[in-house]
Amino acid sequence: MKIFTEFGRYLLMLKGMFSKPENMKMYWKEFMHQCSEIGIGSLGIVVIISVFMGAVSALQTAYQLVSPFIPKSTIAQIVRDTVILEFAPTLVCIVLAGVVGSKIASELGNMRVSEQIDALEIMGINTKTYLILPKIAASMLTIPMLVIIAGVLGMWGGRFAGVMSGILSKQTFDKGLLQFFKPYNVFFALVKAYTFAFIISSIPAYYGYYVKGGALEIGRSSTKSVVVSCVAILFADYILAQLLLAS
């Protein structure tokens, strides 16, 4: 039963976010601050993960394609599709669930425990609108951008590793990248990116906003929010694949 209570409270929190801002300028400032924290703050880790993810997938695909009848350009196709369909949106978002999610949960948790949220409420500010909405909106804006960057860098990493290890030439890789390209896959990746961005920001916001206790509980809620977000991402990943790819 507890899961239904929590889910109901999560939905009420989301509903509570939508109220008229007290001062649009302050909300805009907070939104831009969150864009910088979530987007720019996560860029470094996304770049590193994406390049290595693409490089490793190129090398491992080449390792498995032993038949001389399969053209080398197939490696680029496989790298492209795995990066676009799965690695860039899902893997990157799982990492972001840890990076961004724990930050959101611990920030809000600390604000709750130290009565900063109460202080805002007393001032007459809707704390759900002021604290949670900008985080979710910023995630919805920046995470799909990060996913696009991850996709591009992943393919570049694959190209770099393939060429540097002498598996295939630049020309062959580029040719493979363009072969049988389906723009729908990019659409699918973006749908996943938006869905995961919402999960990554709203679930930790819920756990942080409603934390009770002290430092220990903040840590616990932060960990729990990451675990729940990761499970929700995997679940949503399966549902979206079933809905949008299985025909």
CB of 90 to other proteins, least distance (A): 32
Alpha-carbon gap, residue 31 to 133, rounded angstroms: 8
**Do 189 and 89 form a contact (C-beta atoms < 8 A)?**
yes
The CA-CA-CA angle for residues 66, 189, 149, to 5°, reads 85
Q: How far is the CB of 213 from other proteins (least distance, A)?
A: 14
Question: Cβ 34 to other proteins, closest distance in Å?
Answer: 12
On the 0-12 / 13-18 / 19+ scale of CB atoms within 10 A, 17 is buried
3-class SS shares of the chain: helix, strand, coil, % to 5: 85, 0, 15
Residue type, 151: G
Name the residues that contact other proteins, by CB under 8 A: 19, 22-23, 25-26, 110, 114-116, 118-119, 121-126
CB of 11 to other proteins, least distance (A): 19
Shortest CA distance to 128 belongs to which of 114, 108, 142?
A: 108
Closer residue to other proteins, CB minimum distance, 68 or 124: 124
* Residue 2 or 25 having the CB closest to other proteins: 25
Q: Could you tell me the smallest distance in angstroms from the CB atom of residue 146 to other proteins?
A: 23
With respect to other proteins, which residue has the nearer C-beta, 117 or 228?
A: 117
- By C-beta, is 126 or 172 nearer to other proteins? 126
User: How many CB atoms lie under 10 A from the CB of residue 114?
Assistant: 12
What's the CA gap between 32 and 185, in Å, rounded? Answer: 30
**Closest approach of other proteins to the CB of residue 109, in Å:** 13
Closest to other proteins by CB, 122 vs 246, is: 122
Nearest CB to other proteins, comparing residues 120 and 190: 120
Q: With contact defined as beta carbons under 8 Å apart, do 109 and 204 qualify? A: no
The rounded distance, in Å, linking the Cα atoms of 39 and 142 is 5
